[in-house]
Amino acid sequence: MVGLRVWERYLGGWLTGALGRARRATIAIGYAGGDAGPAETALRVVGEHAHRLGGCRLSVLVLADGTEDLPARLGAVEAKLPPQVAVHLMPGAPSQLPVALRAAGAAGAPVLSYLAAPGPVDPVALTASAGGRPAEVLVLSGADTPVRPALADAGFPLVSEVEWAEGGGRIGFGTGSDRNLETFKEALWAAGAALRDPQGLPLRTDQPVETAPLGGALLAELTRHGPRTVTELRRYAVTATAYRAVDAVRALTGLLDSGQVSRDPQQGRLGGDVMITAG
């Protein structure tokens, strides 16, 4: 499943950062159904990074319905984890995440949440996931409704959402870090996902990138809102489209070469503070 591959890739990088700057951190996993995949993936990745724990204590919360066989399925992996890792299995819906996080003493420390649902993700769980310092959340939703507004309402300053091109559903991400937002997009593309471009057409991340649709979206953004810096346009690409930040630079280069936009200053590297104007 592509969503689990994204979770695995992003979690590894998050652990490296969180364990290097915090004395405690929490991974919270909430989903409907008895699928053990998200929890198994998390514990396996934690085990691979166990040598980085040092003096950091890591809590892994697993909140899911149908967890009767989960202890047996996770037992072999959990047994290999160092004593600094505490695994808590809790039956229940994701709406109980606030209680679970309070019980784990997660307040004031880094929290990365994974929330999945066949329909819209519970807003109570989203709000609770935004309580970490810092807080980030990966959302997998089977609903047709966008998840970006819910992520923003939950309190995440930077949010991104991408629609799957096959099978329906969406993947969303909330954070307060531009760098981590770009890391999420890189993980999404590295997972070989089939996404939808700004025109609603399939976008294959395992094939050469066609940036023309992104160029059209960036030009429309410039036309609507006036001149923007390259940094602002990179952020727009990452938050509002399926593309990555690096694709935004390529798309802008194409727009400059075709004369559809201009830049100030006119010479030099296409750095973040260069101002781009339509026309």
Helix (H) and strand (E) counts in the chain: 10, 12
- Which residues does the chain have with pLDDT short of 70? 33-34, 66-68
26-50 burial, b at 16+ Cβ within 10 Å, e below that, comes to: bbbbbbbeeebebbbbbbebbeebe
pLDDT at 129: 97
pLDDT 10s digits, 238-277: 999 999 999 999 999 999 999 999 999 999 999 999 999 9
Q: How far is residue 87's CA from residue 104's CA, in Å, rounded to a whole number?
A: 10
Domains along the chain? 2-196 (3.40.50.150), 212-278 (1.10.10.10)
Q: How far is residue 73's CA from residue 86's CA, in Å, rounded to a whole number?
A: 16
pLDDT at 34: 64
pLDDT at 199: 83
pLDDT at 33: 67
In 45-117 the beta strands, taken as DSSP E runs, fall at 57-64, 85-91, 111-117
* Tokens describing residue 146: 């966008």
Q: How far is residue 159's CA from residue 177's CA, in Å, rounded to a whole number?
A: 10
* Tokens describing residue 51: 């040598």
